[in-house]
Structure 1
Amino acid sequence: MLSHLRFWREQGWTPIDAATYAELWQRHGGSVATHPQVVERLADLAGIPVRYLGWAQQGELKAAIATWGRHMALSKDVLKKQGRRGLFDLGNAEIIPPLAPDARVQLRHKARYVSDLHSERITSLREQPEGLALAREPEQYSKKFRYNQRREQRLLEEAGGVIRPMLELSAGEQATIYADLFQRRWGFEATGKAHLAEVFALMREFMTGSLIYLNDEPVAIQVLYRVEAPQWVSLEYINGGVDPQNREFSPGSVLSFVNTQTAWADARALGKPLRYSFGRADREYKDRWCNRVPVYQV
């Protein structure tokens, strides 16, 4: 029965190796959650082997996916079933498998938050009820909004606020600060708290963004992962933490402004569009920063 279901699910797909998957990703692009090294490192951490599959048209590989059984690799559902729930947090990351522009594939592996970039190339998608929140371009914010953000940043810095790059800190320091500020902001523990330092060490080359200190104490932090594909830059805002006691200086809002502005400047310097995802479009504050775009599931 199992082999029959796998035969149906993989119809049109053939097994490939990790190197071929990586080659297709480098050629056709993808997102943080499909990046070859992100998949490999987090799958190794979970101890769940990855099965790589390729889709050929006219004898040429046009698409590739990384899978865990009947799911796309790194699936929360598989982690839960394997007793590794919350081992790592990728939020509700945008899924962009490497697909050639002329690819037409049938995807039967379970997936959520599949990018609208591939809505015409993957024939088995259906739109999810909730959209994805992608950061607006800087010019899409009103003049008043930008003025207020710059004013908040100036007031914070005048009060002793300092903006520091995340990569100035070790993985252990990042984990300690994030766990503390997340708990203060939300009132419960961050996903995968026990493994944060290990995950941040594995993801260090993809980590970007800054954090904010006030009077030498961290007051706002965001976990951001960034990968560069040939045609665009993919950036995932996983989650964040803020000290509520410093709310009058709006450090969380200042940090969102600094991180989004920096990411746009970086992508434009490369001459590439930016897909800066805040995950599921489910909170009012995301509407301040983002456009809602369609997203798909299998």
Structure 2
Amino acid sequence: MLSHLRAWRERGWTPIDAAEYADAWQRFGGSVATHPQVVERLAGLAGIAVRYLGWFTDGGLQAAMPTWGRHLALSKDVLKQHDKRGLFDLGNAEIILPMAATAQAPVRHRARYLSSLNATQVLGLREQPEGLALAREPEQYSKKFRYNQRREQRLLEEAGGLVRPMLELSAAEQAVIYADLFQRRWGFEATGKAHLAEVFSLMRDFMTGSLIYLNDQPVAIQVLYRVEAPQWVSLEYINGGVDPQNREFSPGSVLSFINTQTAWTEARALDKPLRYSFGRADREYKDRWCNRVPVYQV
């Protein structure tokens, strides 16, 4: 029965190896959640083997995807099935499958938050009720908004605030600070708290952004992962933490301004569009920073 269902799901697709998948991603592009090394490292941490599939047309590979059973790889549902719920956190990451611009292929594996970039390539998609929040370009913010953000940053720095790159810290230091500030902000533990240092170490090659200190104490942090595809830059804002006792200086808002502005500057230096995802468009603060865009599911 299982082999019959798999044959139905994979109809038209062919098993490929990890190197072929990586080659497809480097040619066609993808997102953080489909990057070959992100998939390999996090699947390795989970101890769940990845089955890579390719779609061939006239003998040439036109599309590829990493799978866990009937789901795309790194699925939260599969982690739950293996009693590894919350082992790592990718938020509600945008899924961009590596597909040639002219490719059209059916996907029968379960997936959510499939990008609008794949909307004309993947057959059988349904638009999700909720959208995805993608950061606006700097020019799309009002002059007043930009003025206020710069003013808040100046006041914070005058009060002793200091901006530090995340990569100045070790994975263990990042984990301690993130777990503490997340708990302070939300009142419950961060997803995968026990494995944060290990996950941050595995993801260090993709980590970007800064954190903020005030009087030598960390007061705001954001977990950001970034990959560069041939045609665009994909950046995922996974989650963050902030010390609510310093609300008067709006360190969380200041950090969002710094991180988004830096990411846009870097992407434009590469002459590539930026897909800076805040995940699901489900909170009012995201509307301040983002445009809502459609996403799809299978």
TM-score normalized by the length of structure 2: 1.00
What is the alpha-carbon distance in structure 1 between the residues aligned to residue 58 and residue 127 of structure 2? 29
Q: Which residue in 2 is equivalent to 1:234?
A: 234
Q: Which residue in 1 is equivalent to 2:80?
A: 80
Q: Which residue in 2 is equivalent to 1:184?
A: 184
- Letter of the structure 2 residue corresponding to residue 185 of structure 1: R
What is the alpha-carbon distance in structure 2 between the residues aligned to residue 51 and residue 118 of structure 1? 21
Matches within 5 A, 1:118-197: 118-197=118-197
Matches within 5 A, 1:100-115: 100-115=100-115
Q: Which residue in 2 is equivalent to 1:244?
A: 244
Render the CA deviation track for 1:36-65: whole Å, top value 9, x for unaligned.
Answer: 000000000000000000001122110000
Q: Which residue in 1 is equivalent to 2:280?
A: 280
Runs of 4+ in 1 over 6 A off after TM superposition: none
Please give the secondary structure, in 2, of the residue aligned with 1:65: strand
Q: CA deviation at 1:77?
A: 0.2
**Matched length:** 298
1:12 aligns with 2:20: no
What is the alpha-carbon distance in structure 2 between the residues aligned to residue 48 and residue 80 of structure 1? 12
1:48 aligns with 2:48: yes
Q: CA deviation at 1:102?
A: 0.6
What is the alpha-carbon distance in structure 2 between the residues aligned to residue 210 and residue 60 of structure 1? 42
Please give the secondary structure, in 2, of the residue aligned with 1:246: helix
What is the alpha-carbon distance in structure 2 between the residues aligned to residue 103 and residue 35 of structure 1? 19
Long gaps (5+) in structure 2 = none
Q: CA RMSD in A?
A: 0.3
Render the CA deviation track for 1:208-246: whole Å, top value 9, x for unaligned.
Answer: 000000000000000000000000000000000000000
What is the alpha-carbon distance in structure 1 between the residues aligned to residue 121 and residue 194 of structure 2? 39
What is the alpha-carbon distance in structure 2 between the residues aligned to residue 90 and residue 122 of structure 1? 22
What is the alpha-carbon distance in structure 1 between the residues aligned to residue 117 and residue 19 of structure 2? 24
What is the alpha-carbon distance in structure 2 between the residues aligned to residue 58 and residue 126 of structure 1? 28
Q: Which residue in 2 is equivalent to 1:25?
A: 25
Please give the secondary structure, in 1, of the residue aligned with 2:146: helix
Q: Which residue in 1 is equivalent to 2:211?
A: 211
- Letter of the structure 2 residue corresponding to residue 156 of structure 1: L
What is the alpha-carbon distance in structure 1 between the residues aligned to residue 22 and residue 31 of structure 2? 12
Q: CA deviation at 1:10?
A: 0.1
Please give the secondary structure, in 2, of the residue aligned with 1:194: helix
TM-score normalized by the length of structure 1: 1.00
Please give the secondary structure, in 2, of the residue aligned with 1:189: coil
What is the alpha-carbon distance in structure 2 between the residues aligned to residue 57 and residue 288 of structure 1? 43
Please give the secondary structure, in 1, of the residue aligned with 2:98: coil
Please give the secondary structure, in 2, of the residue aligned with 1:191: coil
- Letter of the structure 1 residue corresponding to residue 55 of structure 2: W
Q: CA deviation at 1:250?
A: 0.1
Percent identity of paired positions between Structure 1 and Structure 2: 84
What is the alpha-carbon distance in structure 1 between the residues aligned to residue 97 and residue 66 of structure 2? 8
Q: CA deviation at 1:177?
A: 0.0
Long gaps (5+) in structure 1 = none
